[in-house]
Amino acid sequence: MEQRRRIGWLLLFILFVYLASETLVSALIPAPVVAADATRLRVICLEPPAILELEAESIRMEPDMGLEPRDHIAIRWSPGRHFVQRAGQPDLEVEGPIHLTWSGVATWRDGKGPRGRERRDIGSITLTEIEGKRKLWVSVELEDYLSGVLAREMGAGFPLEALKAQAVAARSFALNAAARRRRNGSPWDLQGGQADMVYRGLDSSSKIMKALRETRGLVLAFDEKILRAYFSATCGGKTRDGRERFQDVPAEPFRPVTCQGCEGLGLYRWSRKVDRARIDKVLPGLGKSPLEWQVSTRDARGDWKRFQVRSRGGSWLKADMTRLRGKLGLPSTWITGVAMNGSDVVFKGNGHGHGVGLCQNGAKGYARAGRNYQQILDLYYNQPPLRKIGK
Ligand SMILES: [Zn+2]
């Protein structure tokens, strides 16, 4: 009997130790959020130059073609092929993609003509053609990429805590977007313009470096995945419900919040005169009389979705403001008034950008008022868990 009781206690003890260790282990090991191999990103250049002129130390080209490493290379594109320009010698014709690597920082100009801007990159460049269109992408390490994104999306003039909040949001957005494109078999990961985040080469200002260092590897998670952390310039006082603007976004992190940080900053309140010629181009066939506007559907914040417009006596033309906002030159779809001014149309509204997620000018205002980056992220993404990736 005594023996049996002892065995009973022993089994109970073993069960207790097992349960305790399970709880302990699960508390110590964070749930997997991301494969950390995705930190080298291929960022497509929106305006590749007609001739790529690259300056860097020891530039190497693939295919090899017998070229020695050099400090300057000029490559001209013509449909179907590239030509490597050589002083005093005929151009070297290369078929298929070209891959350039170098050591340290390279300098080159993207864009065309006077729009071309000098930029600096660490990494490599791929030149290729996809479905007859010229493509150039830079392969860059995540943190180098983020330095350029922070410089373009906020700038070193923003307070440090706002830059740190932006760093975490941008890191999360980049990894989510890159993973999605890879799953879809895209040869590149991110687009270097506003469709993803603006990137035109790296930045090394000390405040941006500090913001990245102090948030290194931190991402926002939701449902044990990295969050596609949308952000926009100025929400205008209230952020927008993410599901009103984007498909496939979780509700909880993007529920609307009141923002007092952006009050009076950026395009908090705006008025835009759109001339009649522009209206006629965007909405053709309206006739010449003064216009009447009607909103058909608005979301809870007040953003215009569907609307209709006609010139007096004419028939109504139905249109979608989400699609036309950029073409009309309006800062946001949160339109609070529309009036005719002679033949022109004057729109009034709130905020700048889509209004979902972090408000950049709001982050600026809150950081100035003493909030830290975690408090800022908590506000805009509804207390999302922070996770650390990589080393
Ligand atoms: Zn705001």
Pairing of strands 117-121, 98-110: antiparallel
Q: How far apart (Å, rounded) are the C-alpha atoms in residues 293 and 302? A: 15
- What are the percentages of helix, strand and coil residues in the chain, rounded to 5? 30, 35, 40
* Ramachandran class of 61: left when φ > 0, alpha when ψ lies in -120 to 50, beta otherwise: beta
- DSSP code string of 75-93: EEEETTEEEEEETTEEEEE
Distance 343 CA to ligand 1 centre (A): 33
Distance 346 CA to ligand 1 centre (A): 23
Exposed, middle or buried by CB within 10 Å (0-12, 13-18, 19+), for 110?
Answer: buried
Omega before 63 cis (within 30°)? yes
* pLDDT value at residue 248: 83
Distance 265 CA to ligand 1 centre (A): 9
CA 45, 47, 51 angle in degrees (round to 5)? Answer: 100
Distance 187 CA to ligand 1 centre (A): 36
232 within 8 A of 355, measured Cβ to Cβ: yes
Q: How far apart (Å, rounded) are the C-alpha atoms in residues 336 and 162? A: 29
Q: How far apart (Å, rounded) are the C-alpha atoms in residues 190 and 346? A: 36
Distance 160 CA to ligand 1 centre (A): 18
CA 315, 318, 319 angle in degrees (round to 5)? Answer: 145
* pLDDT value at residue 36: 43
353 within 8 A of 232, measured Cβ to Cβ: yes
Distance 273 CA to ligand 1 centre (A): 23
Alpha helices in the chain (DSSP H): 2-28, 142-153, 160-183, 206-213, 242-245, 276-282, 321-328, 360-368, 373-381
Enumerate residue ranges in the chain where pLDDT < 50.
15, 17-37
**Structure-block tokens of residue 89:** 């010698």
Distance 359 CA to ligand 1 centre (A): 5
Phi/psi at 60 (nearest 5 deg)?
-120, 145
Distance 230 CA to ligand 1 centre (A): 13
Radius of gyration of the chain (CA): 27
Distance 366 CA to ligand 1 centre (A): 10
Q: How far apart (Å, rounded) are the C-alpha atoms in residues 263 and 152? A: 22
Q: How far apart (Å, rounded) are the C-alpha atoms in residues 336 and 273? A: 14
Residues with CB under 5 A from ligand 1 (ion): 235, 259, 262, 359, 362
* pLDDT value at residue 50: 87
Q: Which residues contact residue 307 at a Cβ distance below 8 angstroms, ignoring those fewer than 6 apart?
A: 293, 294, 295, 296, 318, 319, 320, 321
Helices 373-381 and 360-368: crossing angle in degrees, nearest 10, is 140
Q: How far apart (Å, rounded) are the C-alpha atoms in residues 246 and 176? A: 15
Query: Strand pairing partners for 84?
Result: 75, 92
Hey, where are the domains in the chain?
40-141, 180-264+354-388, 269-350
Phi/psi at 129 (nearest 5 deg)?
-135, 130
- 337 HSE (CA, 13 A, CB side): 10
Q: How far apart (Å, rounded) are the C-alpha atoms in residues 274 and 309? A: 14
Q: How far apart (Å, rounded) are the C-alpha atoms in residues 280 and 340? A: 14
Q: How far apart (Å, rounded) are the C-alpha atoms in residues 109 and 113? A: 10
Q: How far apart (Å, rounded) are the C-alpha atoms in residues 335 and 164? A: 31
Distance 283 CA to ligand 1 centre (A): 31
Q: How far apart (Å, rounded) are the C-alpha atoms in residues 34 and 225? A: 7
* pLDDT value at residue 13: 55
How does DSSP classify residue 298?
Answer: B
